[in-house]
Amino acid sequence: MEFGVTDRWRLPTAIKILVAGGFGAGKTTMVGAVSETRPLHTEEALTQRGTHVDDLSGVERKHTTTVAMDFGRITIRNDYMLYLFGTPGQDRFFFVWDELAMGALGAVVLADTRRLDDCFPAVDYFEKRGQPFVVALNCFEGTTPFTVGEVRSALGLEPDIPIVRCDARRRDSGREVLITLVEHAMRRGASPVGTMS
């Protein structure tokens, strides 16, 4: 018996996006805020042993850290599924990034303006891979906002790399960041790097 391809049986098209950035920038929060399903988190408690490794300057209230990834999902119409993979932020977990980046359309580099230099490794990573990315400035309360031009200059970004402000706690704000990334990737004619497993 042959099965015809109909709308009812069409498999969803998977779009994979990474949410990267420095330690404590709000990656887990953003994935959780925009996911339509309960997100998967691989967080562990920060311990006294890690105090000499993890710099908590500016994020003193942080008590957990992602050790593998965060995962969330958004349905776009019936035939498109957006899968979000939040990366771990510390250098010692960067070996995970290559696996997570396989098949990704692009990435959101979430930046905490209190610790802007923490997002340099993520920017460098995606520039070297030639993978489309946008920089999302997570607006924390009590911080002095930098202009987009100041951030672009500090990070050495090309003029075509979008920089947007966001609040990682708000679903609508996170979705706007994701839309900006997809539009940027489409303008660049990007196709996923590698294959999505």
Walk me through the domains of the chain, giving residue ranges and CATH numbers.
Answer: 14-187 (3.40.50.300)
For residue 18, the cross-strand partners are 85, 107
Number of neighbouring beta carbons within 10 Å of residue 179: 13
Q: What integer pLDDT is reported at residue 62 of this predicted model?
A: 45
Residues of the chain predicted below pLDDT 50:
1-6, 44, 46-47, 56, 62, 66-67, 195-197
How many Å apart are CA 149 and CA 100, to the nearest integer?
30
Name residues whose C-beta falls within 8 Å of residue 126's C-beta, 6 or more positions apart in sequence.
Answer: 20, 106, 107, 109, 132, 133
- 167 phi, psi to nearest 5 deg: -120, 105
Phi, psi of 73 (to 5 degrees): -140, 145
The H or E element that residue 136 is part of is strand 133-138
CB 100 within 8 A of CB 18: yes
Predicted local distance difference test score (pLDDT) of residue 81:
87
Q: How far apart are CA 152 and CA 173, in angstroms?
A: 20
Tell me the whole-structure pTM to 2 decimals: 0.77
Q: Note the pLDDT of residue 71.
A: 85
